[in-house]
Structure 1
């Protein structure tokens, strides 16, 4: 297993976490596929999305892999009028991460981060470790505390 930058940051801060690996399918980089490959509850596996707010600038949302982002809810959480997803081609330049390996931990810059409130119903959630096929298993509160994020309602029901 490869130690990613995100994992090294958690180690340095003495934050408890575990890791999971799965076989990457270049044809299917979805979080749902990752959850299936790990045999994990889809509700506990979170994908990391990067958006840009009208006033706030870049922000990060972590939502369950099968969830659909509600841009109005995100804007409300971010106290912004309007937010939109960034173009995929800009992801690596902004975050340092590639699609399928974007972690809320260890981006080039720490952006305001919102974790969907459904994370609170799990003892542990799974987020990308910063590389395709590498995952971090962490308590939702430990993640929020480490990245100075906040829980918010972010998805359509």
Structure 2
């Protein structure tokens, strides 16, 4: 349970579900890259995940949670969600669609549920870090517990380095 901090949708949902998690905060009011966030948390960027929202040819939206040091491979991502192609949504569309701003987008607690794919490397860690729904908030939890809160699937959706 998060005590003494502003509750975001993601935190409220986790508290209600009684899932074990930790919240990590840092002082910033501008969106940072995932790698910058990892550095602030003293974590390897492969352990800190970023949340990306896309739209497919069918006009369906999809969420991808990938290591902060990686780039989403749009072809692999489209194949995983059975679309001809997908593209990133425009930044100005993020808040009205999800309820979250760029730099504070959590896969938990969006305005509505979108099919969510997490990069398969998340299973290599006891816990992963991802946005807590506000700039400066990071949630650390077991990815399988995350799968008890939102429906997820796993796949290789990043570009090769």
TM-score (norm 2): 0.93
1:49 match: secondary structure: strand
| 1:56 CA displacement | 6.0
1:17 pairs with 2:29: no
Cα deviation for residue 103 of structure 1 reads 0.2
**What is the CA-CA distance between 1:13 and the residue it aligns to?**
1.1
Q: 2:119 — aligned with what?
A: 116
The farther-off stretch of 52-61 and 62-71 is: 52-61
Alignment gaps of 5+ in structure 1: none
Q: Is the 8 A contact 2:29 2:136 kept in 1?
A: no
Residues 1:83 and 2:86 are matched in the alignment: yes
1:2 corresponds to 2:6: yes
Per-residue deviation, residues 9-58 of structure 1 (Å, max 9, x unmatched): 011111111110112263x6211111111111211100000000112600
1:92-144 Cα shifts (integer Å, max 9, x gaps):
01100001000000000010000000101011000100000011101011112
Aligned to 2:98: 95
Distance 1:100 1:20 in 2: 15
* Structure 1 Cα separation of the partners of residues 29 and 98 of structure 2: 22
Q: Aligned equivalents of 1:145 and 1:56: distance in 2? A: 27
RMSD after superposition: 1.2
Separation in 2, partners of 1:56, 1:78: 12
Contact 1:24 1:133 in 2 (8 A): yes
Give the Cα separation in 2 of the matches to 1:46 and 1:154: 13
What is the SS of the residue equivalent to 1:44? coil
Partners of 2:59 and 2:18 in 1: CA distance: 30
Quote the residue 1:39 is aligned against: 42
CA distance in 2, matches of 1:21, 1:93: 25
> What is the distance in 1 between the residues matched to 2:145 and 2:130?
12
Query: What SS class does the counterpart of residue 42 from structure 1 fall into?
Result: coil
Give the superposition deviation at 1:145.
Answer: 2.9
